[in-house]
């Protein structure tokens, strides 16, 4: 098969691994810098080009779109989909996963357990909102934050109110701000399950090294291999499905009432391979081999 990996280049470990595995399995592979792709939107003839070459000849694409490039990257993927090119992650599923508010709504609708979450576009009803999520401390989070950068822990109502007011100043429509129950039982640790085609292929626990409540590796967290409980495994698979993602990094926290899903990542890092010794690249290429030839399933998520 002819497979294109849409990423920021070959320097990336995940890209390198996908390329290496696909080549070893006899595929023709090309790494395409989607940021340098350009497209022509035309009736009956949508095209995407890269360095003068038409991309419609590929049998499958594997998008690895960076968070900071979501809109451009998904526009390129969408255009390729319009041409009938198979994408292992659909553009709509990537877009969905990059918005934590939309994600929480979809996960809750699908029956996935999440931390109690509320949203509002002003701080007048703050007392009511905080009560709804079980009192302080509370987590305040930007719906489009990444790497732990948009997540704040407010210890008191007063602190929550001023953080919210500051956030609302630059987010007039309010959909970028979530208030969430602080999952204190496992603060500073979370679980990442790497899901491919309805199977968990690797899992790890991340722990913050200082006393930060955020366990993101980008924030200096440390990861180690763990075995998921049956409940966690099922929850991770359900969460990936609820988001319409065939490849997903599902982040969960352990709480007194069981696992709670924090977010579902559409381009999970392959660093988990080094930490767990599990191969995540091969299942992805196998999934592409099995599914690229079929008609893509219609996205039935509806939001
Ligand atoms: N409701 C919560 N309760 C406790 N800790 C949380 C909560 N939400 C997030 N965290 C911590 O903050 C980290 C980052 O939050 P997350 O929602 O995954 O945003 P990001 O996209 O920035 O990674 C999580 O990995 C977790 O350690
Ligand atoms: Mg996260």
pTM reported for the whole predicted model? 0.96
Per-residue pLDDT, 246: 98
- CA–centroid distance, 98 to ligand 2, in Å, is 11
Kindly state if the Cβ of 263 falls inside 6 Å of ligand 1.
Answer: yes
Cα(263) to ligand 1 centroid in Å equals 8
Q: Which residue bears the tokens 């999440």?
A: 114
190 Cβ closer than 6 Å to some ligand 1 atom: yes
Instruction: Answer yes or no: is the C-beta of 183 below 6 A from any ligand 1 atom.
Output: yes
Q: Is 262 in the pocket of ligand 1 (CB under 6 A)?
A: yes
CA-nearest residue for atom 27, ligand 1, is 214
We find that the CATH architecture of domain 2-94 is 3-Layer(aba) Sandwich (3.40)
DSSP readout, 241-299? HHTT-SEEEEEEEEETTEEEEEEEESS--THHHHHH----HHHHHHHHHHHTTSPPPP-
CATH number listed for the domain at residues 185-265: 3.30.470.20
180 lines ligand 1 (CB under 6 A): yes
pLDDT of the chain along its 303 residues, tens only? 999 999 999 899 999 999 999 999 999 999 999 999 999 999 988 899 999 999 999 999 999 999 999 999 999 999 999 999 999 999 999 999 999 999 999 999 999 999 999 999 888 899 999 999 999 999 999 999 999 999 999 999 999 999 999 999 888 888 899 999 999 999 999 999 999 999 999 999 999 988 899 999 888 889 999 999 999 999 999 999 999 999 999 999 999 999 999 999 999 999 999 999 999 999 999 999 999 987 777 899 988
How confident is the model at residue 170, as a pLDDT?
85
What pLDDT is attached to residue 302?
A: 86
pLDDT at res. 241: 98
Model pLDDT, residue 219: 84
CB-ligand 1 contact for 115 (6 Å cutoff): yes
Structure tokens at 32: 């395409």
pLDDT at residue 12, as a whole number: 94
Q: Nearest residue CA, atom 13 of ligand 1?
A: 214
CB of 167 shorter than 6 A to ligand 1? no
Please give the number of the atom of ligand 1 that sits closest to the Cα of 188. 27
Architecture of domain 116-182: 2-Layer Sandwich (3.30)
Test site for ligand 1: of 66, 107, 190, most ligand atoms within 8 A of the Cβ: 190
Given phi > 0 = left and psi -120 to 50 = alpha, else beta, which region is 129? alpha
What are the domain boundaries of the chain? Answer: 2-94, 116-182, 185-265
Taking the CA of 268 as reference, the closest ligand is 2
């Amino acid at each position: 098969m002819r497979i294109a990996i849409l990423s920021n280049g070959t320097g990336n470990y995940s890209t390198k691994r996908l390329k290496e595995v696909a080549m070893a399995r006899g595929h023709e592979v090309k790494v395409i810098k989607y940021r340098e792709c350009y497209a022509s939107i035309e009736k009956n003839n949508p095209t995407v080009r890269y360095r003068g070459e038409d991309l419609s000849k590929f049998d499958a694409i594997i998008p690895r779109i960076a968070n900071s490039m979501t809109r451009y990257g998904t526009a390129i993927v969408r255009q390729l989909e319009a041409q009938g090119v198979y994408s292992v992650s659909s553009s709509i599923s990537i877009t969905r996963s990059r918005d934590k508010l939309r994600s929480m709504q979809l996960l809750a609708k699908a029956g996935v357990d999440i931390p109690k979450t509320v949203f509002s576009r002003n701080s007048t009803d703050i007392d009511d909102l905080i009560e709804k999520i079980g009192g302080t401390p509370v987590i305040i989070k930007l719906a489009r934050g990444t790497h732990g950068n948009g997540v704040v822990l407010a210890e008191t109502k007063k602190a929550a109110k001023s953080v919210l007011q500051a956030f609302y100043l630059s987010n007039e429509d309010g959909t970028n701000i979530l208030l969430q129950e602080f999952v204190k039982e496992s603060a500073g640790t979370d679980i990442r399950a790497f899901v491919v085609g309805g199977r968990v292929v690797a899992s790890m626990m991340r722990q913050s090294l200082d006393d930060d409540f955020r366990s993101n590796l980008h924030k200096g967290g440390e990861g180690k291999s763990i075995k998921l409980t049956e409940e966690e495994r099922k929850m991770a698979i359900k969460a990936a499905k609820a988001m319409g993602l065939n490849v997903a990094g599902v982040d969960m926290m352990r709480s007194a009432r069981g696992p709670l899903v924090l977010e579902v990542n559409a381009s999970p890092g392959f660093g988990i391979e080094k930490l767990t010794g599990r191969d995540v690249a091969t299942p992805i290429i196998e999934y592409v081999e099995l599914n690229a030839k079929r008609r893509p399933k219609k996205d039935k998520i509806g939001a």
